[in-house]
Structure 1
Amino acid sequence: MRKIAPDERQMMRKIHVKKLIHLVRTQGFLSLTIQDIAHTMNLSRATLYNYFSSKEDIIMELTNLCIDYINEAGQTITNEELSYPLRLQKVFEQAVFSAVYASDIYLHDLKKSCLHLYEKKRQSRKEQLSIIHTFYQNGMKAEVFNELNASILIIQDETVLGKLVNTSFLMEEDLSLKQALFDYYVAKKTQVLTPAYLQNTEDEDVHAMVESVLNKLTAI
């Protein structure tokens, strides 16, 4: 078998762990065997070991993938050259990704078996929440956002989006994920933005923004 260049190997590691996201989010990973993981990745066990040294190595790559995205989104949220309504979209996008890729069962398994990764994930989440909390407070001071409790807004996103990315809930309510995200974002911006700024966003293409989020969910 040909030798894999370091850059190619890293790229393929990311591609392969992305295939695990739905399984780990819904079932956790403690009960998964290497054979289960290889099957989900559509790889043989031998090929899997060309990219990963162990099951923990796989979970580490998956966890770092999620953390890297959150950190990247945080940089946009703190970019004061961008408008508050535009950054509000990024907060929404980040919250969607957190709901999809940080399920309770995944975090439970991470804490139980990979405490150092759990602590790294927890610290990343703590920093993320601090950035969002400051963003909301600054938006209120700038009179772009209505005077609301920033902590409640964050909890609201966690609760609602956690429900919306649940396939069984969508089926019960006869909703597509795209429509559910669209409806929630419209409700969110109506709640958060003051009337003057809300009026200025009436012509924005929310469908396109939600479509972009869904495309990133597929690509990550």
Structure 2
Amino acid sequence: MRKIAPDERQRLRKAYVKKLIHVIRTQGFLSLTIQDIADLMNLSRASLYNYFSSKEDIIMELTNLCINYINEFGQTISNEEVSYSLRFRKVFEQAVFSAAYTSDIYLNDLKRSCPHLYEKKMQSRKEQASIIHTFYQNGMKEEVFNKLNASILIIQDEIVLERFVNTSFLMEEGLSLKQSLIDYYVAKKTQVFKPEYLKSTENEDINEMVDCVLKKLAAI
């Protein structure tokens, strides 16, 4: 095994597991062999072991990557010094990436084969839902948001955005991902914000925001 500097090794571990996300979220990972994974990473089986000790190590890295990526948004969402409009945008972005990074297929495989990682993932999911729930409730108390059920708003994002990141669904409906995200963001914003606050965000460049989201998704 060739020696790799720790920082470089960690950077490459993240880069390689990102190549698995689409397959794992759509097909799961229980049926994948180490050779299948190496092929998806464009590595030889021997080279794969320069970075990962086992299949479980790979799934652990992927799970931690998902958790850490989503947690980054939570720091902004819970920061009350940031405007509600910007934090709402971060809630939307987080929901998109949550849908892209995870799926029921992946979670079911994780629960069956790596229960400790499954519990860690579900705890992170619960914590993030709590942050978003508090954000919506505070916005309602301060009369920035309409009086709505915060739990339903969260579930709404999970259901809708899960369909949007499903390529076959978009093809069947003749939709583009970009326009679907723009239309849903506008609809959600209209649903949540009181009219006077909605008017104050009219100059927001939604196209630019969605382009940024799509650019990040393309890097997965």
TM-score bracket relative to the smaller structure = over 0.9
1:213 aligns with 2:213: yes
Instruction: Report the secondary structure of 1:168's partner residue.
Output: helix
Shift of 1:219: 2.6
The amino acid across from 1:125 in the alignment is R
Q: Percent identity over the alignment?
A: 80
Q: TM-score scaled by structure 1?
A: 0.98
Aligned partner of 1:75 in structure 2 is 75
Give the Å deviation of 1:173.
Answer: 1.4
Residues in 1 aligned to 2:97 and 2:135: alpha-carbon distance in whole angstroms: 18
- Which AA in structure 2 matches 1:160? V
Match of 2:122 in 1: 122
Which 4+ residue blocks in structure 1 deviate beyond 4 angstroms? none
Could you tell me how far apart the structure 2 residues matched to 1:44 and 1:156 are? 42
Task: Give the structure 1 partner of residue 174 of structure 2.
Answer: 174
Aligned to 2:190: 190
Deviation digits for residues 109-148 of structure 1 (CA, Å, limit 9, x no counterpart): 0000000000000000000000000000000011110000
> For 2:149 and 2:3, how far apart are their aligned partners in 1?
55
Which residue pairs with 1:88 in the alignment?
88
Aligned to 1:15: 15
Query: Secondary structure of the residue that 1:110 maps to in structure 2?
Result: helix
Q: Counterparts of 1:92 and 1:186 in 2: how far apart (Å)? A: 11
C-alpha separation in 2, matches of 1:22 and 1:165: 10
Any stretches of 5+ residues in structure 2 without a counterpart? none
Paired amino acid for 1:71? N
How do residues 61-72 of structure 1 correspond to structure 2 at under 5 angstroms? Answer: 61-72=61-72
- In structure 2, C-alpha distance between the alignment counterparts of 1:2 and 1:71, rounded to whole Å: 33
1:57-109 C-alpha deviation (Å, 9 max, x unpaired): 00000000000011111001011111101100000011111111110000000
Question: Aligned equivalents of 1:181 and 1:198: distance in 2?
Answer: 18
Alpha-carbon separation, structure 2, partners of 1:11 and 1:69: 14
> Is 2:37 the partner of 1:37?
yes
Give TM-score, length-normalised by structure 2.
0.98
Q: What code does the residue aligned with 2:113 have?
A: S
Partners of 1:212 and 1:139 lie apart in 2 by 25
The amino acid across from 1:178 in the alignment is K
Q: Residue 218 of structure 1: CA displacement?
A: 2.2
Counterpart CA distance in 2 for 1:145 and 1:219 is: 33
2:97 and 2:37 mapped to 1: Cα distance?
22
Q: SS in structure 2 opposite 1:51?
A: coil
What's the offset of the Cα at 1:216? 1.5
Consecutive unaligned residues of structure 1, counting only runs of 5 or more, are none
RMSD: 0.9
Contact 2:73–2:90 under 8 Å retained in 1 = yes
CA drift of 1:164 comes to 1.0
